[in-house]
Amino acid sequence: MKKPVRPADICAHLGDDYEKQLGAIIPPIYQNTVFTRKTASYGYTYSRMNNPTNEILEKKLAALEGAEDARVFSSGMAAITSALLSVLKTGDHVVTTGSAYYPVVVFLRDEAARFGISATFLKNGSPEEFKAAIKPETKLFYLESPVSNTFRVLDLRALAKLARENGITTMIDNTWATPLYQNPLSLGIDYCIHSATKYLGRHGDVCAGAVMSGAENIKKLRESSANGAMLDPFAAWLLIRSLRSLGPRMARHGENARKVADFLLRHEKVKELFWPGAGSDPGHKLAASQMSGFSGLMSFTLDTDKKNAYEFLKRLDVFEEGPSWGGFESLISAPGMTDNEEYLELTSIPKGLIRISVGLEDAGTLIADLEQGLSAI
């Protein structure tokens, strides 16, 4: 296929060169560090800068997000911090939400502050809040939509417009939606970031991150000596493999999530559900205007005390308790069970919040597991 443009075709075929690959339908792994000077005309010198295997992955990811170029990293946090450091300098100010991925909040609050970079953490993330937080030194809006844990939806078009009018760069973590269901660059955002550990690669065997943006932005990111957290070529090869099934996997995640959400919404022990795919969710209308689908990560609170909530967690058989999300396996965690009031206030996480990542198992099996767990309350 010469010029794949549809997402499924991009995932399957973009970057393939069967003639160059000796007819192999699976691209080889260039598991090497150095390319000799006699071959420099091909554009490769050192794998920290670029690598043929990584390049195939980057072409696919850039095309999926409608970007000019992409850069892949060894983790989502490596991608995020590298992108932040490529934009920010001493004296700059960042506006974000306290509900952003907590390691990013900690990085901006503690680590970046050591280098004279300040940050304001908003409660809700409305355009009005962002506008009120702008200072003369504001350089960046760092966004998530839907946001971590409570999955509140931000108005990306309005925030991109506000940023452009004030000479501010915009950056978003688009991991929840994937490039299949949301393309922030088309809405005016400057940088799009993914933890490719999640849906993009989620067979449970690769940790990776990616940044998509304009060619000059990625060139700067690629050439920065501070951004040496490049993705190993074998991990890139695994991600290329994973992307081939991204469409069918996301469809199944979304289908299962809708059935699980419908069950939770009807259950008398569930106090509140947080998932923008539900028509009753406050952000559903806005989400539908800037997204084309919904993934399998959601959260809810229970109408019970902490003791019974823990009993619910212990009774589950299919949902395993653990970090991360977006994989074939269904996972559960309880970020709202902490006694750290300062953390709950900063992140806007309701007390007792439980988060589930709906996997690829049979939806009936997942619902039955939740039902028997809730029966313990």
Query: For 178-230, where are the E strands, in sequence order?
Result: 191-195, 209-213
Q: Which two tokens stand for residue 294?
A: 């919904």
Q: Which of 69, 92, 155, 173 is labelled catalytic?
A: 173
- The reply to whether 252 belongs to the active site is no
Active site residue 198: yes
Instruction: Give how far Cα 250 sits from Cα of 111, 178, 201, 260, Å.
Output: 35, 9, 12, 15
How many Å separate Cα 314 from the centre of its chain? 28
The amino acid that residue 233 corresponds to is: P
> CA–CA separation, 131 vs 164, rounded Å?
12
| Spatial contact of 353 and 334, defined as CB atoms under 8 Å apart | yes
Cβ–Cβ < 8 Å for 352, 306: yes
- Residue 291 · residue 275 · CB < 8 Å: no
* Residue where the block lists tokens 């106090």: 271
Q: Give the active site residue among 30, 44, 101, 191.
A: 101
Can you read off the two tokens belonging to residue 326?
Answer: 């977006």
Q: Which of 71, 198, 222, 355 is catalytic?
A: 198
Active site includes 44? no
Tokens 């699980």, residue? 260
Alpha helices in 170-232 (DSSP H): 178-181, 215-223
Answer yes or no: 6 catalytic.
no
> What is the CB-side half-sphere exposure of residue 117 using CA atoms within 13 A?
21
Catalytic site residue from 48, 123, 271, 351: 48
Report the alpha-carbon distance of residue 12 to residue 14 in Å, rounded: 7
C-alpha torsion angle, residues 231, 232, 236, 238 (rounded to 10):
-130
10 to each of 23, 164, 353, how far by Cα in Å? 19, 30, 37
Q: Annotated active-site positions, please?
A: 48, 101, 173, 198
